[in-house]
Amino acid sequence: MTEFTLQDQIRDRAKQLLASEQVKCVIGYEHGSRGQVRPAFIHQINDVDSLVWNQGCTHNLVTYLRDIKGTFGSDEHLQRVAIIVKPCDSRALNVLLAEKQIEREHIYVIGVVCTGIVEGAGYAGQSSDKLQTRCVRCSDRVPVIYDLLVGEPTHPEITDDYVDLTELEAMPPAERAAFWLKQYERCILCYACRQVCPGCYCSTCMFERDDSLWVGIAAGVKEKEAFHLGRAYHLAARCIGCDECERVCPMELPLSLLNHKLAKEVQRLFHYCAGDEPSQSPLATMLAEGEEFPA
């Protein structure tokens, strides 16, 4: 099935949903100002034909549900939104559902069978033919949640051996700490990593309280380290690995390494993979009586 027909199917369904007033908005992708793809919010049928689907659709649109979750009213039908998700994005939906951030009936999910997103996607003139690292290692082709599935599922056999982590894990602790401090030093605390993350929905981030309770206001390497490590821990067993934090970072911090490390440990300890099911993270639950911490 070609990309053209996937795009056509998305547009057709978007038209139906808006025409029948089943949704008030379709969150998808459109062409940006300089040839790149960007998130689009389609409110009117006339605008549906600007929706696109191609290998530049990198953004995890689930993050935008944070902005509109307070807008759902009593008239549910009219207030629903449709959202286009790739398999990775769809797992963020499961996280938000489990954490009661969204209600299933408030969203209409257009799931797209995904064969990978290219590097440089989202930025003008930077798109390449090469798939993003996260996509090379991803064997998911079908979203875990959808109301409409667009595309023909395939079942590739790919096993992720976390090769990028092996090198880092092999470093002596002091060397590893030095590596990370050098990365954090470049951080400009623009918080794009947090803002783009569907899992970061706190209304006041603990690392940015007015009273500086946990982290001071200074842009020093200690503050940056506290922010990045703290954020990584808060996302342990919740991060679904879309790597958007790494894509948006203007200073190119390899943030996915932190997240993958934690995902790997969670998998090893709890046999749990964030977003596979709409279930709470094992780190946010308690052991039942008689239950033991897994070996």
Of 215 and 237, the one with the shorter C-beta distance to another protein is 215
The distance in angstroms from the start CA to the end CA of the chain is: 45
| Residue in 128, 139, 154, 212 binding another protein, rule: CB under 8 A | 212
Residue 252 binds another protein, judged by CB under 8 A: yes
Read off the tokens for 292.
């033991």
* CA–CA separation, 288 and 270 (whole Å): 14
Residue 7 binds another protein, judged by CB under 8 A: no
Residue 183 binds another protein, judged by CB under 8 A: yes
- What phi, psi does 287 have (nearest 5°)? -70, 135
Residue 171 binds another protein, judged by CB under 8 A: no
The one segment of 95-103, 127-135, 247-255, 267-275 that binds another protein by CB under 8 A: 247-255
| Residue in 19, 158, 181, 217 binding another protein, rule: CB under 8 A | 217
The one segment of 4-12, 81-89, 164-172, 178-186 that binds another protein by CB under 8 A: 178-186
Residue 39 binds another protein, judged by CB under 8 A: yes
Give how many residues touch another protein by CB under 8 A: 44
Phi-psi map region of 120: left, alpha, beta (phi>0 left; psi -120 to 50 alpha): left
Residue 148: CB atoms within 10 A of its CB come to 17
List of residues contacting another protein (CB under 8 A): 32-34, 36, 38-41, 44, 47, 59, 63-64, 67, 122-125, 182-183, 186, 188-192, 194-196, 204, 208, 210, 212, 216-220, 244, 247-248, 250-252
